Structure 1
């Protein structure tokens, strides 16, 4: 969702496992190149606009589930190629270039094999998602339901894709935990991590729309309505076939 350079791992002991395992999905790209691709594709597809400010380096790392060093090196590489620009001082940061080089953006494209891999991961997650949601409707505790509701509120007020992604990941992992399915939860989390390695930055408005599914899911879980909960989850995941990068670029 290829192991990063040893220096990255050593410098960042607390990095999510996705940095070393899930990023292998990008056609054996390095972790740095995978991040470059994800940001570059978001720019090519118009999801990140010219002049738009990216979250700070730490937030980019958290939002893309990679190490801070990987994020820093990827952003530095994109800056060297003119895809993003860095500005110092008050109001500074990293911004999408007003006119990113089109040749560079064309090089930052996923292969057909990578698109096929994403489709397979979406199908695998769809199967897992329906299962964990079904059992979560029966087994979720009051405390877990309250936390899920809190996470939907956090996503609703998120102002950028990084903040949203972090809450989104916690939400789905908690739904899986609430299912009480034991080792199956670990398999679900592995699939989720693999798929998250392909996510690219999206406009916060689109993500807020997606959060409506989370809100509906929590309502179904609270009501113990298994059928309704599974239906929400099925639609929430199935749409990824059309809205992840390979669908947007077709």
Structure 2
């Protein structure tokens, strides 16, 4: 679930707590790292156009000024290219400098932090999904279906990620678990702080899990809903952040 991946990664601007796993990097450097890793891993291709600055900010859960400064810095280093005109925008350079990309790597401590967050989310996800199957309302089910349709229609990772976040927050709200939902949302936001761009085709495949979850919730089948969520989050251990280089794409 992209941060979900993925879900997903993956909310409010990154704060000090969310950045603790980034070895106290600044918010700008954290964005630089996430985009650089996506390029190094082949998730963002040479010549590919990035969403506009506002959408990048929303997709990476940072402020607009943080996104703007991070993109400007990467452009100055030749990783990105900015073009003017009707067909302009920000693009991945045809040949991003390898020495710069090598600097945009994560430490083992960062990888460990990601996987601890995935484990924490796994526990939360199973709990909120179980109770959502019991308490979800018809209106919430309708909104969840609309969000899966929105994700299916998304044409870039930023749009998808924003709908993905709303989807998971709504499932949590449907659980009726009170203040525990706040703790879930905090963990989700922390994990989304590590979200890096994925090809939209991979995210669309991930959305099949969302559809299966909605079907289980509609049937009131708590066991099936929990199993969908368990599989969906567990895949983050193999695909998210550091695991991406050697793993199969998120499904």
Does structure 1 conserve the Cα–Cα contact (< 8 Å) formed by 2:14 and 2:27?
no
User: Residue 211 of structure 1 corresponds to which residue in structure 2?
Assistant: 207
The total of aligned residue pairs comes to 237
Normalised to the residue count of structure 2, the TM-score between the two structures is 0.92
RMSD of equivalent CA atoms: 1.2
Counterpart in 2 of 1:137?
A: 133
CA contact (8 A) 1:19 1:65 kept: no
Partner of 1:246: 242
Which residues of 2 match residues 92-241 of structure 1 at below 5 A? 92-241=88-237
**Counterpart-to-counterpart distance in 1, 2:42 and 2:66:** 24
- Superposed CA deviations along residues 8-59 of structure 1, whole A, max 9, x for unmatched, are xxxxxxx824355423331110000000000000000000000000000000
Q: Quote the Cα distance in structure 1 between the aligned partners of 2:200 and 2:19.
A: 24
Aligned equivalents of 2:159, 2:244: Cα separation in 1: 23
- Give the structure 2 partner of residue 49 of structure 1: 45
TM-score, normalised on structure 1?
Answer: 0.93
CA distance in 2, matches of 1:88, 1:79: 13
Rounded Cα–Cα distance in structure 2 between residues aligned with 1:242 and 1:109: 18
Deviating 4+ runs (over 6 angstroms): none
1:121-160 Cα shifts (integer Å, max 9, x gaps): 0000000000000000000111111000000000000000
CA contact (8 A) 2:13 2:63 kept: no
Greater relative contact order: 1 or 2 (C-alpha under 8 angstroms, separation 6 or more)? Answer: 2
Runs of 5+ consecutive residues of structure 1 not aligned to the other structure: 2-14
For each residue in 1:80-100, what CA deviation from the matched residue of structure 2 results, as whole angstroms up to 9, or x when unmatched?
A: 000000000110000000000
